[in-house]
Amino acid sequence: MRTLIKSISGRAAMTAVWCFKVENLKSRRGFSRPEMMKRTSRNYRNLPFSLKRGAWSPEEDLKLIAYIKRYGIWNWNEMPKAAGLLRSGKSCRLRWMNYLRPDIKRGNFSKEEVQTIIKLHELLGNRWSAIAAKLPGRTDNDIKNYWNTHLRKHLINNINIAMRTTELQGTQKSNIEFKQKNPSERDISHPKILNSEEYSSKGWFPMSPKPFSASNPNFVNDEKKNKNQTIDEEIDVGLLESFGELSLWDKWPYSMEGSCKVEDDGETYTDEMWKETRGTGSNAMESRQQQKRQIFQIQVRKNRDFQRGV
């Protein structure tokens, strides 16, 4: 067994270990220990062992739908018996409320719905049922899942950036004041924190094409092509999808925005200055782009170090 576990890694190994333990803990009733614990916990102690759990079959769905259509909802605990279902009332209720109800809207969330979720979450916090009440056809579970899988990580990153900004800004109230206090600080150190409208207006939600990402390999390919880069650690550009770093990008794109300043041999150049001194030839523009890319990577790494508390 140990040899087997050694030969596999990560999650597979953990799964193997877990299966091994569970297999050895099978009780006399034929249930694993965790299963027994679940079944004997408060919610299950009065339930027969024959109750079915897990994914619903199409036949069970049909039974529940037919029963509710005919008799309506009267008592979730009695209903499954009457409908011929070997399910708990709780399981039936959940299945109906989250999946089978005829008024449920399925499919991707629209931009407007996402904006509403963000706004309401700012207002209400994790009160998913209250948020769902404002989105016809969406269930609290759907919204909770969407938030946890699509929006939460972006929120956390944005908070991290906000913390960094706060530290760099001190108590200053405006960009002008910030620049007065920190004349040597580049714009990159003062990233803009976007609100929900700004996020969605940029199309940075998952259902929209992303500015750049693992699935938009231009950035990655450019990095791989760049043989002369002096940075020892390559930035994982997939991670730049975080809103925080996209807001850095907003300030420091190497998309050749005219106002972008890059230092070279101690001199700070705007794109215009660069063109004036180096020309607009492909070599000059390529080296300019390469420069921006490198500095952006450094800034991203600094930002990550800050977030990690390095």
* Contacting positions for DNA (CB under 7 A): 8-12, 34, 38, 41-44, 53-56, 74-77, 89-91, 93-95, 97-99, 126-130, 140-142, 144-146, 148-150, 206, 214-215
Strand-pairing partners, residue 263, are: 268
Read off the tokens for 76. Answer: 């979730």
CA nearest neighbour of 273 among 291, 286, 255, 259: 259
Read off the tokens for 47. Answer: 């339930």
**Minimum CB separation from DNA for residue 122, in Å?**
15
Element (H, E) at 263: strand 262-264
Alpha helices by DSSP H, listed for 226-270, are: 243-251
Strand-pairing partners, residue 262, are: 269
The residue (of 146 and 204) whose beta carbon lies closer to DNA is: 146
CA nearest neighbour of 229 among 254, 258, 257: 254
The residue (of 32 and 226) whose beta carbon lies closer to DNA is: 32
The residue (of 146 and 219) whose beta carbon lies closer to DNA is: 146
The residue (of 133 and 256) whose beta carbon lies closer to DNA is: 133
Question: Do 124 and 130 meet the contact criterion of CB atoms below 8 Å apart?
Answer: yes
**Minimum CB separation from DNA for residue 124, in Å?**
8
CA nearest neighbour of 74 among 82, 85, 66: 82
The residue (of 214 and 231) whose beta carbon lies closer to DNA is: 214
**Minimum CB separation from DNA for residue 224, in Å?**
12
Tokens 């049909």 sit on residue: 62
**Minimum CB separation from DNA for residue 68, in Å?**
12
**Minimum CB separation from DNA for residue 295, in Å?**
26
**Minimum CB separation from DNA for residue 13, in Å?**
8
Residue 241 neighbours by CB under 8 Å, 6+ apart? 210, 213, 214
**Minimum CB separation from DNA for residue 120, in Å?**
11
The residue (of 82 and 130) whose beta carbon lies closer to DNA is: 130
The residue (of 64 and 260) whose beta carbon lies closer to DNA is: 64
C-beta atoms surrounding 60 within 10 Å: 21
Distance CA 168, CA 108 (A): 38
